[in-house]
Structure 1
Amino acid sequence: MKNVKKITGAFMLIFLLIGGVLSAQDRAISANQLPKTAKTFLYTHFKGIPVSSAIEDREIYGVDEYKVYLNNGMKMEFDSKGSWKEVDGKHQKIPYGFIPASIKNYSTKNFPNTFIIKIEKKRWSYKTELSNGLELEFDRNGNFKKIDD
């Protein structure tokens, strides 16, 4: 009898996990459906560059993140509230207006003939990619930590 309960419990767990995965899905949305914070970010730092597509990544508990693709090929990721998580210029220089000053200053001072083509904001750090292929890591206050090539 104990084995039957264990097997039944295992099957129930498997079905719950499968149901959770199936209910998580991406859906295309218009740029107007993005959170206000994301729309303001795009207007401020990428003014004049049209959005080619926007994707809402939904999980069972709600929206997890938004992905935005611009007509010039650049890609952004925003959290569920519309705060930027990643900006990928796809080998193009990204605007520096939203990048912490210490990161911008370190990059331009120590690598003068390069520019930032990608930045990712994590919980405790930032990671940037330069046009020469180097990846720089910074702490959450923008202090340089290491080069990750």
Structure 2
Amino acid sequence: MKKTVIGLSFLAAVSCASVSCDDDKVISDVELPESSRTFLSSHFNNINVSRIEKEGAGYSVYLANKIEIDFNSTGDWLEVDGEDGVSIPTGFILPQIVDYVEDNYPTTTINGIEKKASGFDVDLVQQDTDLVFDVNGGFVRVDP
């Protein structure tokens, strides 16, 4: 009996700890920063939003077409990522990056892009290839 009480107490403590550490909160679109809403309406206008989460200081938007968009606290996009095999729109990506992919990988499309301080990481759909670009959209290298 003592082991059962101790086990249940431990389970309860772990459950409470995991709930209190979870900062993710489902929110409505009106709670997104204006710049995020503008980005979505400009580049993903005809795609339904499945869920929006506030994650710490940032936001994650899940679209019905299996694309996830992460925004920082001010509403600037940080990452746009499609599930395996899902292409993302390219209207918000620097033209130099889009042109490089079209010229050098004409049989595939962009599956995801992440904005970093040093530039951009781009994932391609069919090639299982990651490309690195600098902040100006210049090609740097292929990441294995």
CA deviation after TM superposition for structure 1 residue 24, in Å: 6.9
Task: Look up the SS of the partner of 1:25 in the other structure.
Answer: coil
Task: Name the aligned partner's letter for residue 101 of structure 1.
Answer: P
Q: Which runs of 4+ in 1 moved over 3 A?
A: none
Task: Look up the SS of the partner of 1:56 in the other structure.
Answer: strand
| CA-based RMSD | 1.2
Separation (CA, whole Å) in 2 of partners of 1:52 and 1:23: 24
Separation (CA, whole Å) in 1 of partners of 2:30 and 2:128: 34
Separation (CA, whole Å) in 2 of partners of 1:138 and 1:38: 24
Task: Please state if 1:118 is matched with 2:112.
Answer: yes
Task: Look up the SS of the partner of 1:117 in the other structure.
Answer: strand
Separation (CA, whole Å) in 2 of partners of 1:34 and 1:84: 12
Task: Please state if 1:133 is matched with 2:128.
Answer: yes
Count matched residues: 123
Gaps in structure 2 of 5+ consecutive residues: 1-19
Task: Name the aligned partner's letter for residue 137 of structure 1.
Answer: V
Task: Name the aligned partner's letter for residue 134 of structure 1.
Answer: T
Identify the residue that residue 61 of structure 2 maps to in structure 1.
68
Deviations 1:67-113 (A, max 9, x none): 00011111000010111000001121111100001100111001111
Task: Output the TM-score relative to the length of structure 1.
Answer: 0.79
Separation (CA, whole Å) in 1 of partners of 2:44 and 2:22: 30
Gaps in structure 1 of 5+ consecutive residues: 1-21, 59-63
Task: Name the aligned partner's letter for residue 45 of structure 1.
Answer: H
